[in-house]
Structure 1
Amino acid sequence: MVRPASIPAARVEGLRRRLSPRDLAVLASLHRVRLLSLAHIRRLAVTDGSPRARTRRAQLMMTRLTELGVVVRFSRIIGGVRAGSSGYIYGLSGLGQAVLDTGGPLGGRRRRVWESRPYFQDHMLAVAELYVQLVERHRLGQGELLAYDAEPANWRHFTGAGGELVQIKPDAYVRLGRAAIEHSSFIEVDLSTETLPTIQKKSQRYIDYWRSGMEQQWRGVFPKVVWLVETESRRAGIASVIGKLALDGQALFAVGLLGDGPRLLGGADKGATA
């Protein structure tokens, strides 16, 4: 991959030598899910000691990575003013992406970090929370995390009925292993910001993609499409939308609360095959 001329190779190589394996793992996680809170980083990277000691160590690590310029700390604090530095949100900087390109855990296309609107941050953090939960369950032996692809690596495309290019843009694609069985899912995290007709259009697009047979030809199975929502009323609303879809396509979907995501993904891969 070509490195931007504004970041000298010697600087990138020298900086990478100063980073520990844990530092690089944090950068890789930020590359994967785009945003992480300090609490997420503590759960992912600082797993021993008391909760207070772990938070302090995570704070020190992220302050150092921010000063080195490999991460960006956003001005918004989640949890209100009282949360202090514990409520900071972090993203991967251009320099951090360059460090990963020079031999870090992940390569891939660089993405610009920007001060996005609170809604987009909340949405990305909700997706990141699912990722953190899956990593924690993987450590406990409650399901092997075989793959977790966030946007845009998980995007799919196919040719529509009129010959047009149609894209599927899930929030994540997940493969879990349990008891010698793989469960794969497309994840849609819903924070009640889209209308139910929009949800219906998205769901129909997944059915159209299933009918194209492209995913089955590539993967051998079509993933379950799992909608994760915040409230029971929203769950009921999306379930009613799914109930109005074609009967042969309804089995592709599952709807649950955000907190139930890992459980649903671990046993919700009975998607239709070709």
Structure 2
Amino acid sequence: MTDTPATWKPSRIRELELHLTTRDERILEDLERFRLLTSGQLQRLHFGVDPLGPHASQLGAVRATNRVLTRVEKLGVIARVSRRIGGPHHGSSATIWQLAPAGERFLRARRGDPDRRKFGNPGAVFISHTLAIAEVAVGALEQSRLGGYEVLELETEPTCWRTLQSGGAALTLKPDLLLVTADADTETHSFCEIDLGTEHLPAIRRKCDVYQRAFRDGSEERARGLFPAVVWIVPDEKRAAALHAGITADKGLDPDLFTVVTRDAALATLAPYEPSTTTTSPQ
């Protein structure tokens, strides 16, 4: 029998609807959106520490996260990735999760989507890069919940990709992340490129050239009224200096189109707003 939402829904979907809470479904949606998340990232997204809430301490939040993820795993809708990050001393927060095929089918059936997603065993480079992208997004969402700004748009791959025409040929722009934040007065639009320090500078410049062609094409500006800043997020100052020098040295690139920041300084660029004194936490 063909695996479609229509054929899968009558039995399994009703069973999962009975056992999955609203928060469980949000966890599935985040795993679908980000592809991979650690237990620690899921805790920050869904089990925020709040002295007046259900998770009054970090330890309580971690325990609740582990308890819920274990329960949802037993339902067969999420799965642990066999690889771990950071070695054995990082504990359960370093456990990596992905959507299981049953979880993907559940979400597809809920929205009537016939397109199946292929599952495989992710490699080390893919895991590192995917989690680094997620970390930028989780950090922005987490900080926004403390007040001071909103996350208006957060698009991951491949939703944030753009197709344009350049020289009569189709060209695809593939950002790692599109992030739009705003306070009461301003908005900040950013195409994010998460660099692990392993890409050679010629490849960096080639990707910058695609961004510059996209900027000159004008379709993104016509759609949203501006072209987002291109923000390269790198591991450290040494790598930042190397990328900045490489981009500036390329006479074919406009360096004003690109910003290079370290991971520690990324949020100040992506959400450059004054912090709020009001604090809230995710439910």
Name the counterpart of 1:221.
Answer: 226
Structure with the greater relative contact order (CA < 8 A, sep ≥ 6): 1 or 2?
2
Seen in structure 2, the aligned counterparts of structure 1 residues 152 and 207 have a Cα distance that, compared at 3 Å, is same
Q: Does 1:231 align with 2:232?
A: no
CA-to-aligned-CA distance 1:127-157 (integer Å, 9 cap, x gap): 1111111111110113200111000000001
Code of the aligned partner of 1:30: L
Cα distance change, pair 178–110 in 1 and its aligned pair in 2 (3 A): farther
Matches within 5 A, 1:182-197: 182-197=187-202
Name the amino acid aligned to 1:134: A
C-alpha displacement of 1:43: 0.8
Q: 1:9 to 1:224 in 2, by over 3 A?
A: farther
In the TM superposition, residue 78 of structure 1 has moved relative to its aligned partner by 1.7
Distance, in Å, in 2 between the alignment partners of 1:122 and 1:112 is 19
**Given the superposition, is the C-alpha separation of residues 87 and 248 from structure 1 closer, same or farther in structure 2, using an over 3 Å criterion?**
closer
- Alpha-carbon deviations, 1:220-243, whole Å to 9, x = none? 110000000001111001101221
Cα distance in structure 2, aligned partners of 1:136 and 1:13: 32
Which of 148, 156, 176 aligns to 1:150? It is 156
- The Cα RMSD (Å) is 2.2
Contact 1:91/1:113 (<8 A) preserved: no
Q: 1:89 and 2:90 equivalent?
A: no
1:272 is matched with which residue?
A: none
Asked if structure 1 preserves the Cα contact closer than 8 Å seen for 2:208 and 2:253, the reply is: no
Q: Deviations over 1:169-206 (max 9, x none)?
A: 11000111123322111000000121001000000110
State how many pairs are aligned. Answer: 265
Q: 1:146·1:175 contact (CA, 8 Å) conserved in 2?
A: yes
Unaligned runs of 5+ in 2: 49-54, 274-283
Quick check: 240-249 or 189-198, which moved more?
240-249
Unaligned runs of 5+ in 1: 269-274
Which amino acid letter does the alignment assign opposite residue 118 of structure 2? R
Structure 1 residues 143 and 213 mapped into 2: Cα distance closer, same or farther (>3 Å)?
A: same
Measure the CA separation in 2 of the matches of 1:109 and 1:242: 39
Contact kept in structure 2, 1:215 and 1:222, CA below 8 Å: yes
The equivalent position to 2:121 in structure 1, one of 115, 119, 122, is 115
Contact conserved, 1:33 with 1:150, CA < 8 A, in 2?
A: yes
2:44 matched residue in structure 1: 43
Show CA shifts across 1:247-273 (max 9, x none).
Answer: 8832211110112222111249xxxxx
Displacement of 1:168 in angstroms is 0.7
Alignment-derived partner of residue 146 in structure 2: 140
